[in-house]
Amino acid sequence: MDPLDSSSFELKSITLGTGRKYEYCDQTPAEYKHDETPILLLLHGFPEFWYEWRYQIGPWFRRGWRIVVPNMLGYHGTDKPDDPALYTSLALAGDIAGFLDGIDIKHPIVVVSHDWGAVTGWSFATRYPERTRALVALSVPHQAPLPMEFTIPQVIEAMGSSWLGYWYFFTSEDGHTKIEANIPLFIDLLYRSHKTVHPELWGVGTIEKIMSGEIANPGPSDVMSEKERQSYIKYFEANGIDKPLNYYRQFPHAFAIQEKLKLNPILPTTMPVLLVAPDHEPFVHPDLVEKSKHFVPSLEVQPIESAHFVLLERRDEITQIVGDWVEKALNRAK
């Protein structure tokens, strides 16, 4: 498996009972034993697809684990429905459960997740604790249950970050068309290291001005090679960004499914849980990490010097830290 050659990974697809198709990468060891071999389910974030985990899949596979990486709803070869309600984290958790059933994975798995994938990962562990052997979340801590239907200003206030002004742009009627008109610049804006990420990039109205040329852009991404950068540009120029933005548009629908399911928001004390918390995370207020502990009694927090895209900026450290932690969690569960 070559991280710079996507064709060296095996992709498959499956249609769920809902009729929605999911595409996924599946790397299964030759010595795989059903219901015995540990399975890692990797959930990517925005704006990504299975390829976000390219540096981790091989090393974790070589530890003897089966690695399953679905393209989340709205991405790549997975279906791209219009309805934002289908993109709520609890609805996606249901999709993931159906996906696992479809590929005959019934025993508990280890969920490793990033960004919006982490939001879904937390919801999966909450909705299906009996199917979650351990949970790793990168960048995004556990979110408290919603007290009401949220507007974008309320989301920004709850997340405690003035940087979230870009949510107005992402959820505007023409936001996706403006982004699609300049995908290279959008990629460069997002994928910044802790050395070059700045709060002013994501304030209200700023990203629009950068996209339109009113404010100078920060230069090419400094967390990926030019070959990788071109791969992302090619992908999003071909597939667009409209459906992935449904992850931001779904908030008005999230409260309804939460109220319908009436889940216990506190995870079992026996579930091993790791949060990898970047110290230059622009999109999450540090206070939310501390607040997570109320809902996650077994939470372990691993700080790391990085901005948001830790899987790129700290690829080797993440591979080692998470791999070693999962190994210990699996041994504790025996």
Q: Is the pLDDT of residue 207 over 70?
A: yes
Backbone angles phi, psi at 288, to 5 degrees: -70, -25
Q: Is the pLDDT of residue 296 over 80?
A: yes
Q: What is the distance between the alpha carbons of residues 309 and 115, in angstroms, rounded to a whole number?
A: 9
Q: What is the distance between the alpha carbons of residues 116 and 332, in angstroms, rounded to a whole number?
A: 28
For 26, residues 6+ apart whose C-beta sits below 8 A from its C-beta are 10, 11, 12, 66, 67, 68, 69, 103
Q: Is the pLDDT of residue 151 over 80?
A: no
Q: Which domains are present in the chain?
A: 6-333 (3.40.50.1820)
The answer to whether 110 touches 273, Cβ cutoff 8 Å, is no
Which of 55-64, 248-257, 258-267 tops mean pLDDT?
55-64
Q: What is the distance between the alpha carbons of residues 123 and 244, in angstroms, rounded to a whole number?
A: 18
Q: What pLDDT does 54 receive? A: 96
The pTM assigned to this predicted structure is: 0.95
Q: Distance of CA 67 to CAs 110, 125, 132, 303, Å?
A: 10, 18, 15, 25
Q: What is the distance between the alpha carbons of residues 168 and 249, in angstroms, rounded to a whole number?
A: 10
- Give 51's DSSP letter: G
Strands 66-70 and 21-27, how do they pair? Answer: antiparallel
- Crossing angle of helices 54-61 and 315-333, in 10° steps, is 40
Q: Distance of CA 186 to CAs 75, 278, 327, Å?
A: 17, 22, 37
Q: What is the distance between the alpha carbons of residues 72 and 81, in angstroms, rounded to a whole number?
A: 12
Q: What is the distance between the alpha carbons of residues 230 and 194, in angstroms, rounded to a whole number?
A: 22
- Crossing angle of helices 89-102 and 116-127, in 10° steps, is 70
Q: What pLDDT does 80 receive? A: 98
Q: Is the pLDDT of residue 202 over 80?
A: no
Backbone angles phi, psi at 274, to 5 degrees: -125, 130
**Cis ω on the peptide bond leading into residue 47 (within 30° of 0)?**
yes
Mean pLDDT, the chain, rounded, equals 91
Mean pLDDT of the 302-313 span: 95
Q: Is the pLDDT of residue 101 over 90?
A: yes
How would you class 175 by CB atoms within 10 Å of its CB: exposed for 0-12, middle for 13-18, buried for 19 or more?
Answer: buried
Q: What pLDDT does 162 receive? A: 64
Q: Write the single-letter amino acid at 138.
A: L
Q: What is the distance between the alpha carbons of residues 326 and 329, in angstroms, rounded to a whole number?
A: 5
Separation of CA 33 from chain center: 28
